[in-house]
Amino acid sequence: MLDLSRKRIRWIVRAAVVVVVAPLAITLATGPAQALEYPGGWQDVELYETVKEVPPGFIAAHQSPVGYRRGGCSGTLIGDGLYLTVAHCIFGGEQNNFVRLGYQLDRNNALREWERYDVDQVLEDNPDAAIHGGVDHGLLRLGGNPENQYGFATMEAREPDIANPLVVIGHPGIPTADPEDTGHTSFKTALVPDILCVGSDDIGPHEFTYARGVTVYGGSSGAGVWDPITGRLIGVNRASGSHCAAAGGRGMGNTILRHQRVSDFLDDDRGSARMYSFTGAGLTQFRWRQLNWRSSYHHIVPGNYRGLGTQEVLIYDSFHGEAQFHTVGTSRGAVALGPAHTGLNLPDQPWGQIVPIQFDPATPQHELLFLNTRSGAYQIYRTDGAGSLDLVAHSGNLALRGLDGSAPRLAVAGDFATRAGQELAVYFPFEGRLAVFGTSPDGTLTRLAGALAELPTSSIMIPAEVRTASARQEILLYHPETQEISMVWFANNGTPTRLGPVAVPGGLATQLAAGAFLDGAANFFAYTPSESNVYANVAEDTGTVRYYRIDDALGLTEVLVESGYRRSVSKFIVGDFRTDGVPDAIMYDRYRAS
């Protein structure tokens, strides 16, 4: 049983790609913890001191996506809910298992509040060593798109440089009382070993062994191995041992190679995008295909950024902390509009949400709200129509928080209360509450009177125009656990009304959109990576798009089903990019040139 004097149970939103969340979030806060003595070279990530010229700033910048799988073993987020670990830590289907993120001690030796993200799928567990080269890796999909809160590592396929040290960030099970899994501390720690040798043999190609002086403990299996020069993830920590030579230390790992299926997620800017138009027959590719998009594109945000009635996109690269506007509605593909804006990341995490919103009705182009979904801090930027990005307001000490002080997870803008300027709808998953904030030209956010509580755990959240007699927009909320949607709208004073939930057929959807699709015959679609979603290679064309009509009573009528889409599609970005009154779609695949 949980000791409720030491734990607080909160609900957090489970994520899909348009924004998201995880079902049951267990957060744990303790008083001061006993300072731990880590043998074998490990240090707490927040108390880390320089080893072999690897500075604390490197650990701070890369530790966030590292998690601890219940039952032991470490892993690293490498993309849209994708969690890289080792195969020998995966048992069966992983049903009911979860990963802890943020599970670490702060600088005062107190355990931080951590969040739970459930395992939705086993994508790879490397069951056949003969096919996969004997390299010990596994890949899980976590519910809730935790990368929006914790970021993700970008990967590179190469063996380590024996002249330089490596960095291992994981959860070694140093013997000490763990609040749930007794016998292991498993708090997040870092290790900086030298490399003794890199070998290739029958056990596994490109297996590297650490030099003496470090110790790898149970629980650190699956920890990511980083190159401190490039900041890329190049392998996984495999086990303790010494396979290269008798003089080896206690620890070894494997690089991730291009011939493995997990190489779908390797970096080198292998992402791609295609643009489609919606016709009565479904999606039809329109004009361009974009290659060599970075795998670190975190958000692709459509909006009216030139003030011309057209729609452009802001592309935000979380790895480089960079954002740039692009036009996309012509046959030339995505064309840069103005300069790249750098230095946009917060110190240890990306922006979880970027929301286009019109604060000032007298200004035709949208402003942008950058929201930190872990702290509630925000910044508001304005563009001049030529690709500038100027800070006009920020939260300061007034972060966007729930009534219980918790951080938001989802935010969308729309005409929800027919006031001057758009409103901002914000979902606070820990308290299960949806609130609407009014805006003003100077960037001030004011909570309206009403708020909707006791929502189903989590959602993708999108604005919609469903009720035919209403001048206001509605909000659709998707609950991945039950695969249902609800509809919410607000009166002028912020009083909410909720309808539903109703089931969305077809399996777990990772992206939803609302608009006039299929020549107006459908106003809602859901993308599902695969109906048979266990042990499936992401390169398979098993994805499905289902189109529906939604009526005022939230009744769903299926209009069309399209299959054969890549299951690794990272984002559907929907907008009227050609300015013809019909929505278009950009299909972005972070991992493959498709």
Residues 83-106: tens digit of each pLDDT? 999 888 887 667 789 999 999 988
**Residue that has been written with the tokens 């699709």 in this structure:** 517
**pLDDT recorded at residue 16:** 28
Distance of CA 183 to the CA centre of its chain: 31
pLDDT tens sequence across 307-353:
888 899 999 988 788 999 999 977 788 899 999 999 887 766 778 89
pLDDT value, residue 178: 46
pLDDT at 520 over 50: yes
Q: What are phi and psi of 532, to 5 degrees?
A: -110, 95
Judge whether residue 10 has pLDDT over 60.
Answer: no
- Could you report the per-residue pLDDT of 51-69, keeping only the tens digit for each? 999 999 899 989 999 999 9
Distance from C-alpha of 573 to C-alpha of 511, rounded to nearest angstrom? 10
pLDDT band at 484 (very low <50, low <70, confident <90, very high): very high
Give the whole-angstrom CA distance, residue 209 versus residue 248: 6
543: its two tokens: 């994805």
With 50 as the cut, is the pLDDT of residue 131 above it? no
Q: Kindly report the CA angle at 502 between 496 and 507, in degrees rounded to 5?
A: 130
Q: What's the pTM?
A: 0.79
Cβ neighbours of residue 10 closer than 8 Å, sequence gap 6 or more: 25, 26, 27, 406, 429, 430, 431
Q: 256: closest CA among 590, 541, 591, 594?
A: 591
The total number of residues written for the chain in this structure: 594
- Per the DSSP assignment, residues forming a β-bridge with 19 are none
Q: How far apart are CA 522 and CA 519, in angstroms?
A: 8
pLDDT band at residue 145 using 50, 70 and 90 as cut-offs: confident
Tokens of 477: 């909320």
Q: pLDDT at position 31, please?
A: 36
> What are the tokens at 233?
């993830």
- Report helix, strand or coil for 264: helix
Extract the tokens encoding 82. 């994708």
Residue of 413, 356, 418, 351 lying closest to 383 (CA atoms): 356
Lowest mean pLDDT among 166-175, 179-188, 223-232, 277-286: 179-188
Q: Is the Cβ–Cβ distance between 383 and 369 less than 8 Å?
A: no
User: SS3 letters for 345-359?
Assistant: CECCECCCEEEEECC
C-alpha distances (whole Å) from 280 to each of 277, 288, 523, 557 are 10, 20, 12, 16
Classify residue 138 by its DSSP letter. E
Who wins on pLDDT, 53 or 540?
A: 53
